[in-house]
Amino acid sequence: EDQVTQSPEALRLQEGESSSLNCSYTVSGLRGLFWYRQDPGKGPEFLFTLYSAGEEKEKERLKATLTKKESFLHITAPKPEDSATYLCAVPTSGTYKYIFGTGTRLKVLA
Amino acid sequence: DTEVTQTPKHLVMGMTNKKSLKCEQHMGHRAMYWYKQKAKKPPELMFVYSYEKLSINESVPSRFSPECPNSSLLNLHLHALQPEDSALYLCASSQQYGGRTDTQYFGPGTRLTVL
């Protein structure tokens, strides 16, 4: 069965304290892995798409990496404005549709 | 520009009302989606339109009726909803449905409350 699991469920960091969020997936034939940021009451904001193991993408303080079983979202020297829920999603093996993980709620304290 | 717009931002309706949610994109995308999201849960897919034709209906109750009048617009017609239908309704679009151009861009959502 296709599955996406994110950890930790919640994370509190001090400003400047780097950390990583994990997205583990079980699908047959990965057709992409997508990272989104979501602020409370708003729609998800697209961050990255990764397609192949070993691929990396960066944007400001965020860096996403992909292996054959999981993806990491590394946050370097976070700021309070990075506080949000971070979601990852992968398309299912059969009918093409996203499975979302349950997200990691990140809180960065000043 | 990766903007998807949704109206209204907030909607309160009674169980006997009929209302519609609207979604618009001008990115030339040919796939559009409706999702439902409850608090502290991930988005759940409801419908997918590809080239203005319904491709996926995730066994959504008939009180939700989607419509895609053209490639830029997507509507969700609501009728006889239940209080448990209260949620954030998200519209998304992608260049194509499936494949390497399927990165989905989401709108800001409509917060729906059913009394």
> For B75-107, how does the pLDDT look when each residue is reduced to its tens digit (9 = 90+)?
999 999 999 999 999 999 999 998 777 899 999
CB pairs under 8 A between A and B: 54
Q: How far apart are CA A47 and CA A73, in angstroms?
A: 10
Q: Answer whether residue B1 shows pLDDT above 80.
A: no
Q: Which of A43, A51, A97 sits opposite B45 (nearest CB)?
A: A97
Closest residue on chain A to B48 (Cα):
A97
Task: Specify whether the CB–CB gap between A8 and A103 falls below 8 A.
Answer: no
At B38 the pLDDT is 97
Contact A78/B at CB under 8 A = no
For residue range A9-24, list pLDDT tens digits in order. Answer: 999 999 999 999 999 9
Of A31, A41, A100, the CB nearest to B43: A100
Q: Which of residues 13-42 of A touch B (CB under 8 A)?
A: 31-32, 34, 36, 41-42
B 54-113 → A contacts, CB under 8 A: 56, 58, 88, 90, 92, 97-100, 102-109, 111
- The closest CB to that of B88, out of A41, A45, A46, belongs to A41
What span, in angstroms and rounded, lies between the C-alpha atoms of B11 and B8?
A: 7
Whether the predicted pLDDT of B28 surpasses 70: yes
A68-99 per-position pLDDT tens digit = 999 999 999 999 999 999 999 999 988 889 99
Give the pLDDT confidence of B55-67 residue by residue, as tens digits: 999 999 999 999 9
Instruction: Identify which of A21, A30, A43, A41 has the alpha carbon closest to the alpha carbon of residue A3.
Output: A30
Task: Return d(Cα A5, Cα A34) in angstroms, integer.
Answer: 13
Comparing CB atoms, the residue among B97, B100, B107 nearest residue A43 is: B107
Q: Given this model, what pLDDT does residue B99 score?
A: 74
Q: Say if strands B10-13 and B110-114 run parallel, antiparallel, or are unpaired.
A: parallel
Joined tokens for residue B108: 């800001």
- DSSP E strands: which ranges in chain A? 3-7, 10-14, 19-26, 33-38, 45-50, 56-59, 62-66, 70-75, 84-91, 98-100, 104-109
Give the integer Cα–Cα distance in Å for A91 and A69: 14
Residue B49: pLDDT band with limits 50, 70, 90: very high
Residue B2: per-residue pLDDT? 67
Burial of A110 (0-12, 13-18, 19+ CB in 10 A): exposed
Question: Per the structure block, which two tokens stand in for B35?
Answer: 């999702």
Other CB atoms within 10 A of residue A33 CB = 23
CB contact under 8 Å between A98 and B104, yes or no, is yes
